[in-house]
Each structure stands twice: as C-alpha cells, then as structure tokens.
C-alpha cells in the first residue's frame, strides 16, 4: 500500500461491523420457517455472494414457489432488530480516526437498505466520519455497482487514488470495474479461500490498514 490515497471507501456489513454471526442466525430462521436444514458459518461464507438470492438458491429455495421478497422480509425482521447489538470490527474506529487526522476522505458503499444503514451509523455515532453514504433504496441486496458509479462521479477523484475496503468478491468486482484499489478482509461474509481467488490483497484485519496510515502522521 505505497500509494497515497485521496479517499477510502468502505463496505459496511462484514467490513466495519462484525455481523456474520447474526447473519447466519437470521438465515437459519429463514431455513427453519421453510423447513430447510440449518447451516453453519462455514457453509454460509462459502456460498454467500451477490445477488443474495443466489445464496438461497444454493440452499435449495425455489423462488417460483417462495417469493424472495417474502423470505427477505422474514430475514430482515430478525436481522434489523438485533444488528445494533453487533460490535464494530477491532480497528474500525481507530482507522476512521487516523483517516480524519490524515485528511483522507471516507465514504460508505453498501448493499444495505439505506434507512437501516443510517440508523446503525447514528447508533454507533459514526455518521460524522463519512462524506458520502451510498446504499440501496430497497431490501433486495442485488448489488451496488450503480451506486458505486454514482459515488465515483461525486468524488471526482482519480480512480487509482481511491481505496475500497470490503469483504466480498462483489467488492472486488466493483473495484475492478471502476479502477479502484482494493483490500479484502476475510472476517465478514466470505472466507479467505473465496476472497483469495480475486487477485486482490487479502489483509488480516482493519488494524493492519490503520497501521499503514498511522506511519504517515
């Protein structure tokens, strides 16, 4: 990470917030409701991808029989009620602090429903760290490439001077599409094994990134 970045873009779920246990728990509530066997975290992280519908297809759901919208509402009724009980990943807040001290801008790019995301940012008292918060206007979690393009236009920065930090191959795909640099963390919704096949650096945790930026203070 030798390049000086003008802006750092963060994914939210699994990247800044440690919500993987809650995600698996919420998925298993859906599985139980529709008579499917429970899954463990390893299975979830191996199959998770965007659009999220594909995860549930892998797990045996037929959306001609059960609507994804209904299933998603059941998932979110549990997830959203408990997400603010999750902890931020170690190193998340210190990294945001060091970026602020360095004068490096920060934004969020998330496939979360925007209203729910803003509620969480207020709960964790993080909203002041971000120049832009890009999220979805629906709860389908289909992807966020359109929002990424809008964010790039808003930033007006050279794509090569933007760093994107995420926890999924979809984050890597977005970085590749826009010409952003990318770091992936294996603590969220996909395993290190899945992430390592994307050709981007997989870092241990956010503290590792914070240490890089602290060297410049």
| Long-range contact set of residues 55-60: C-beta below 8 Å, sequence gap at least 24 | 56/30, 59/31, 60/36
Residue 198 — very low, low, confident or very high, per pLDDT cuts 50/70/90?
confident
160-188 mean pLDDT: 96
Helix 20-33 × helix 68-82 angle, to 10° = 140
pLDDT (average), residues 18-25: 98
DSSP three-state, residue 145: helix
Q: Report the alpha-carbon distance of residue 40 to residue 173 in Å, rounded.
A: 26
pLDDT band at 140 (very low <50, low <70, confident <90, very high): low
Q: What's the confidence (pLDDT) of residue 4?
A: 80
**Does the pLDDT value for residue 217 go beyond 60?**
no
Question: Quick one: tokens of 89?
Answer: 């990943």
Question: Is residue 110 pLDDT above 90, yes or no?
Answer: yes
- Smallest CA-to-CA distance from 186 within 210, 212, 206 is with 206
CB atoms within 10 A of CB 199: 8
**What topology does CATH give the domain 7-19+87-214?**
Rossmann fold (3.40.50)
The mean pLDDT of 184-211, rounded to a whole number, is: 92
pLDDT beyond 90 at 104: yes
The DSSP bridge partners found for residue 164 are 9, 182
Residue 24 has pLDDT above 60, yes or no: yes
Structure tokens at 188: 């969220």
In this prediction, residues 98-111 reach a mean pLDDT of: 95
Q: Model-level pTM?
A: 0.93
The listed range with the strongest mean pLDDT (66-70, 162-166, 199-203) is 162-166
So what's the pLDDT on residue 181?
A: 95
pLDDT of 215 reads 56
Question: Stretch 13-41: mean pLDDT, rounded?
Answer: 97
Residue 141: pLDDT band (50, 70, 90) is low
């Amino acid at each position: 990470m030798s390049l000086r970045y003008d802006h750092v873009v963060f994914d939210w779920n699994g990247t800044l917030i440690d919500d993987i246990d809650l995600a698996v728990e919420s998925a298993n509530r859906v599985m139980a409701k529709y008579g499917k066997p429970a899954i463990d975290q390893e299975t979830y992280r191996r199959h998770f991808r965007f659009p999220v519908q594909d995860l549930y297809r892998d797990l045996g759901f037929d959306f001609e029989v059960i609507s994804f919208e209904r299933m998603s509402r059941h998932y979110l009724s549990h997830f959203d009620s408990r997400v603010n009980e999750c902890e931020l990943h170690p190193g998340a807040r210190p990294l945001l602090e060091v970026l602020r001290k360095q004068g490096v801008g920060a934004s969020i790019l998330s496939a979360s429903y925007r209203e729910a995301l803003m509620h969480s940012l207020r709960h964790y008292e993080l909203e002041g760290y971000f120049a832009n918060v890009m999220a979805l206007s629906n709860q389908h979690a289909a992807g966020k490439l359109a929002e990424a393009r809008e964010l790039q236009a808003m930033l007006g920065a050279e794509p090569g001077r933007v760093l994107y930090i995420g926890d999924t191959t979809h984050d890597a795909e977005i970085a590749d599409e826009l010409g952003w640099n990318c770091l992936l963390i294996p603590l969220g919704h996909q395993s290190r094994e899945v992430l390592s096949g994307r050709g981007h650096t997989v870092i241990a945790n956010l503290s590792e990134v914070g240490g890089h930026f602290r060297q410049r203070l």
